[in-house]
Amino acid sequence: MAEASQDRSKVGHIYGGSLVFIAVSAFILSLVLASYFGRNIIEPSSNLNWAVYHGGTGTFDKQLGERVDISWWAKFLSTYVTVYPGIDGISTFVLCSVSQGEIIMGYYYGNAIHDLEYSWKRLLVFRLLGAVPQLVGAAFIRDLTLM
């Protein structure tokens, strides 16, 4: 980004201002969320805290022990925030598998990789091979709070 800038002397101020803005925004957001969730048990993965979000709608049914008649928008928001990290992880998995596969292919073929980089069959094999470490990790690590 600094190369594309017309006046490079201001880049440091832009980056500094961006960092300050992000830090202040994260701090304010943390305060708002801490005041919303209060002293309730906070889940290790922050998105799971939103599984019980009701947006102030519905009523508490003592027989069922849960809130009923929650509005559709509150259910939608709760589901979206809770499920989004898992859906987002799918795209990360693909990117990591492709990168890992191409690194392995480069290591295996060395300088000859440039002659083979358009062979879709070899790319496919190495990209699938690049997915193996993530799949093995997912098979054995179910609780991400351990990491």
pLDDT at 147: 60
CA distances from 56 to 9, 69, 70, 126 (A): 49, 11, 8, 51
Q: What is the dihedral of CA 123, 126, 127, 133, to 10 degrees?
A: 180
Residue 71 has pLDDT above 90, yes or no: yes
Nearest partner of 88 among 29, 45, 136, judged by Cα: 45
Residues 49-64: tens digit of each pLDDT: 888 889 889 888 899 8
pLDDT at 2: 64
Kindly report the pTM of this predicted structure. Answer: 0.54
Average pLDDT over residues 10-19: 86
For the chain, what percent of residues have pLDDT higher than 90? 33
Distance CA 47, CA 89 (A): 13
pLDDT at 103: 92
Distance CA 109, CA 122 (A): 11
Instruction: Scan for tokens 């091979």, then name that residue.
Output: 129
pLDDT at 125: 93
Residue spans per domain, the chain: 1-40, 41-146
